[in-house]
A and B are shown apart, each in its own frame.
Chain A
Amino acid sequence: MTADILIIGAGVVGCATARRFALEGASVILVEKGADILSGASKANSAILHTGFDAPPGSTELACMQAGYAEYLDIRERFNLALVETGAMVVAWNEAEEAQLDAIEAQARENRVSDVSRLDRAAILAREPNLSPAARAALLVPREHVIDPWSPFLAYMIQAKALGARFLFQTEVTGGQFDGEAWSVETTNGIFRARTVINCAGLFGDIVEQALLGEAHFSIHPRKGQFVVFDKAAAALVKTIILPVPNERTKGVVLCQTAFGNLLVGPTAEEQEDRLRATTASDTLKALIDKAVTMVPALEHMPVTATYAGLRPASDKKPYRIRVEPDRNWITLGGIRSTGLTASLGLAAHALELYRAMVGAKPDWRPVADPLESPVPNLAENRPRDWSKPDHGAIVCHCELVTEREIREALEGPLPPGDYGGLRRRTRCGMGRCQGFHCQARVAAMSEGRLRVPMVPEGGAA
Chain B
Amino acid sequence: MSAHLDVAVIGGGPAGLSAAIELKRQGIARVGLFERESEAGGIPRHCAHPPFGLREFGRLLTGPGYARRLVALARTEDVEIHCNNSIVGFEYQNSGVKLLITTPAGLAHITARRVLLATGTRETTRAGRLLPGERPLGVINTGALQAYAHMERRLPFERPVIVGTELVSLSAILTCRSMGAYPVAMIGEEAEVLARKPLFLYPRLLGLPVLTGTRIVDIEGNPRVSAVTVEGPDGSHRRIACDGIVLSGRFTPESSLARLAGLGIDPKTGGPIIDNFGRTTHPCIFAAGNLLRPVETAGWCYREGRLIARQILRDLQEGLPDASQLGEIQVGEGIRYAAPQRVASPSGGMDCLQLRLERPFDGWLTARDATGRLLAREKIRSRPERRILLPLPASGPENLIRLSLEDRA
Chain A interface residues toward B at CB < 8 A: 35, 229, 231-233, 276-282, 285-286, 300-301, 303-309, 387-395, 398-399, 401, 419-420, 433-438, 440-442, 444-445, 453, 455-457, 459-462
Chain B residues with CB below 8 A from A277, complex form: 134, 220, 222
Q: Residue of B at shortest CB range from A461? A: B181
Interface residues in chain B, defined as those with a beta carbon under 8 Å from any beta carbon in chain A: 36-38, 84, 86, 88, 102, 104-107, 122-123, 125-128, 130-135, 137, 140-141, 143-144, 147-148, 150-158, 176, 179-181, 218-220, 222-224, 243, 252, 254, 256, 259-260, 265, 267, 270
Q: List the B side residues contacting A435 at CB < 8 Å.
A: 125-127, 141
Q: Which residues of B contact A285 (CB under 8 A)?
A: 130
8 Å CB contact of A395 from B86, B156, B223:
B86
Residues in chain A near residue B224, CB distance under 8 A: 457
B135 to chain A, nearest CB (A): 6
- Are B155 and A460 in contact (CB-based, < 8 A)? yes
Contact of A304 with B133 at beta-carbon distance under 8 Å, contacts A232-B256, A276-B222, A462-B180 already known? no
Q: For A457, give its contact among B144, B156, B181 (CB under 8 Å).
A: B156
CB distance from A221 to the nearest CB of B (A): 20
Contact B156 A459 (CB under 8 A): no
Q: Which residues of A contact B128 (CB under 8 A)?
A: 303-304
- Determine the chain A residues whose CB is within 8 A of the CB of B36 once the complex forms: 395, 398
Chain A residues, Cβ within 8 Å of B137: 420, 453, 455
Asked if A394 and B38 sit within 8 Å, CB to CB, the answer is yes
Return A34 CB to nearest CB of chain B, in Å.
10
Q: Nearest chain A CB to B220's CB is how many angstroms away?
A: 8
- Contacting pair B179 A395 (CB below 8 A): no
Q: How far is the CA of A60 from the CA of B140 in the complex (A)?
A: 44
Name the distance in Å between B224's Cβ and chain A's nearest Cβ.
Answer: 7
A300 to B106, CA, bound (A): 36
Contact A391 B105 (CB under 8 A): yes
CA of A279 to CA of B224 in the docked complex: distance in angstroms?
14
B122's contact among A231, A307, A392, A434, by CB below 8 Å, is which?
A434
Q: Is the CB of B127 within 8 A of A456?
A: no
**A445 nearest CB neighbor, chain B only:** B152
For residue A229, which residues in chain B have a CB less than 8 angstroms away from its CB? 127
CB neighbours of A300 from chain B (8 A): 267
Complex-state Cα separation, A306 to B135, whole angstroms: 11
Task: Determine if B223 and A440 form an interchain contact, defined as CB atoms under 8 angstroms apart.
Answer: no
Determine the chain A residues whose CB is within 8 A of the CB of B131 once the complex forms: 280, 282, 307
Partner of A462, one of B37, B106, B154: B154
Contacts of A278 in B (CB 8 A): 134
Q: Which residues of A contact B104 (CB under 8 A)?
A: 391-394
Interface contact B267-A301, CB-CB below 8 Å: yes
With beta carbons under 8 angstroms apart, the residue of A398, A419, A438 that contacts B223 is A419
How far, in Å, is B34 (CB) from chain A's closest CB?
12
Chain A residues, Cβ within 8 Å of B158? 459-461
A436's partner among B107, B140, B157 (CB-CB below 8 A) is B140
The chain B residue sitting closest to A301, CB to CB, is B267
Smallest CB-CB A-B distances: 10 pairs: A390-B106, A441-B147, A461-B181, A301-B267, A435-B125, A233-B259, A441-B148, A394-B84, A437-B143, A462-B154
Residues in A with CB closer than 8 Å to B157 are 457, 460-461
Cβ A461 vs Cβ B155 within 8 A: yes
The smallest C-beta distance from B244 to any residue of chain A, in angstroms, reads 9
**Cβ A286 vs Cβ B130 within 8 A:** yes
Distance in Å: Cβ of A9 to nearest Cβ of chain B? 18
